[in-house]
A and B are shown apart, each in its own frame.
Chain A
């Protein structure tokens, strides 16, 4: 199956979409995902005070597959297939400081996490591991929830290369 087939053949295993997105947004106002201050998964928090790297011990799955739990609202080339990882841009590319977010359920602990899909920019399309899942995706007039936008904003140029899937923290219910 080529990548375009995957584009239209949605993942057979849809991870349950969390219902707490709006609560999270209401609490935090805007959805801006920065890579500088990433909250840690609870499991990792107890083990280290340094920033966590994906994948963490408290999760399972292959970050280079579309079915990976963090990818529930992603639309793009998976950076893990392009020389980076779920939370690292490939060499020589620049992470966008602003992005859209999704809320995905980690099947290991059953908790909902806010995932930041920071784009990596500065080189043309990676072309590998295209993944389009639209759980909770909203139109571009709701940009923080839209995966259709080119999110290479705030970078030295807007040339899109691939997308990460960074854990920002637990999605908190009110």
Chain B
């Protein structure tokens, strides 16, 4: 027998004449025992980890699992620590989630078929308890939920965390109302000509419409409509439509047009009040081809009023293209105050809402999440290896 040291304190053994198994085992035991007579490792128990208390740097990352979308997922990461904390397994067509205001629960609208890809269809809002990211209940809703490329507006939640709204399309538009506290489906409200969910209060929401308006809805305590109205037109969908990807600060929603104009719409008592539009780009920047684009390409920090927008240089119809830059604006002054160069191209961005905010970016085709210091722009963490097809991050 001969032996040589391996690379990592092991032995490479080769059996020679006369070496029997007993001797070999004795030798292995000798060379694998810890040095200096230290105690051997103790036997372990095994268990299921539970999550620590939420921190401001928790970020949920939606993963439609594009190639296997009947097995959608939501990853929970600690953006500051740069690690995955856990995952929710969420079924077919993972679009967006709703996070309870106290982060004790996460509500996920999903679709199931009784035989995987066929059989009876069931749509539901599944209620997950956050500590274990485990489904604990579900509320069945009409099997009509709108699906497609994931967008934040496919669902929404009332500010008090009691109602969850789920957008429907058959292709007729409507939305389902679920009381997630009572765990009860309350009803379906038609929204002809309008799509997606933009919550505006405890019992009010809005929907974007193909005629350049928003439709507003005010609900009562049992989810019935008590008032419905159309805003004045504030964009021309045939000239420069706003994208479906918007951000909210206070009770103002910021919509972004293909050509890079911001259309703020203030809501009060469920009524929409469109504000004058303003441009993200100077004329020179626009002539240089700067555009907005991607998936959820914008995010707002509620407290400091910073708006973060992924931008790129491209042509008409590049409204879904990724960008290598995040331009930062002060919503109060509408001034561009910073430019963050990204390490990797991105289609979606979220910003944590603490005093040391982090930017979290992703693009659909890469299994990697990038984390930046939102103030300095410095790259903080890179989380690789999954989610495999991240659509967009969401913060509590």
> Residues of A with Cβ closer than 8 Å to B?
4-5, 7-8, 10, 14, 17, 22, 75, 98, 122-125, 127, 132-143, 146, 148-151, 153, 156-160
Contact = CB atoms under 8 A, between A and B. Distances in A.
Contacts of A17: 317
A173 B322 CA distance: 34
B18 to A, nearest CB: 55
A47 to B, nearest CB: 35
A138 B241 contact: yes
A125 B69 contact: yes
A4 B209 CA distance: 31
Nearest to A159: B117
B242 interface: yes
Interface string B62-106: 000011111000000000000000000000110000000000000
Interface string B313-330: 001011111100000000
Given A142-B210, A143-B169, A153-B170, A125 B118 contact: no
Contacts of A123: 117
B364 A10 contact: no
B241 A10 contact: no
Contacts of B117: 122-124, 157, 159
14 contacts: A4-B366, A5-B365, A10-B318, A124-B117, A125-B67, A134-B318, A135-B317, A138-B237, A139-B241, A143-B173, A148-B151, A153-B170, A157-B121, A159-B70
Contacts of A135: 317
B365 A148 contact: no
Contacts of B151: 140, 148
B111 interface: yes
B93 to A, nearest CB: 7
Interface residues of B, number: 49
Contacts of B69: 124-125, 160
The B interface, classified by DSSP as helix, strand, loop or mixed, is loop
Nearest to A4: B365
A22 B237 CA distance: 11
A76 to B, nearest CB: 10
Most chain B CB atoms below 10 A, which of A122, A127, A140, A146 = A140
B237 A142 contact: yes
A153 B208 contact: no
Given A10-B318, A134-B318, A138-B237, 6 more contacts: A134-B320, A138-B241, A141-B244, A142-B237, A148-B149, A153-B171
Contact of A148 (B68, B148, B171, B242): B148
Given A123-B117, A125-B67, A158-B121, A150 B319 contact: no
Contacts of B322: 8
B147 A132 contact: no
B194 interface: yes
A127 B319 CA distance: 24
Most chain B CB atoms below 10 A, which of A149, A156, A159 = A159
B151 to A, nearest CB: 7
A122 B93 CA distance: 14
A141 B66 contact: no
Given A8-B345, A158-B147, A159-B118, A139 B208 contact: yes
Contacts of A151: 171
B146 interface: yes
A162 B389 CA distance: 18
A23 to B, nearest CB: 11
3 closest A-B pairs by beta carbon, nearest first, are A4-B365, A149-B148, A141-B195
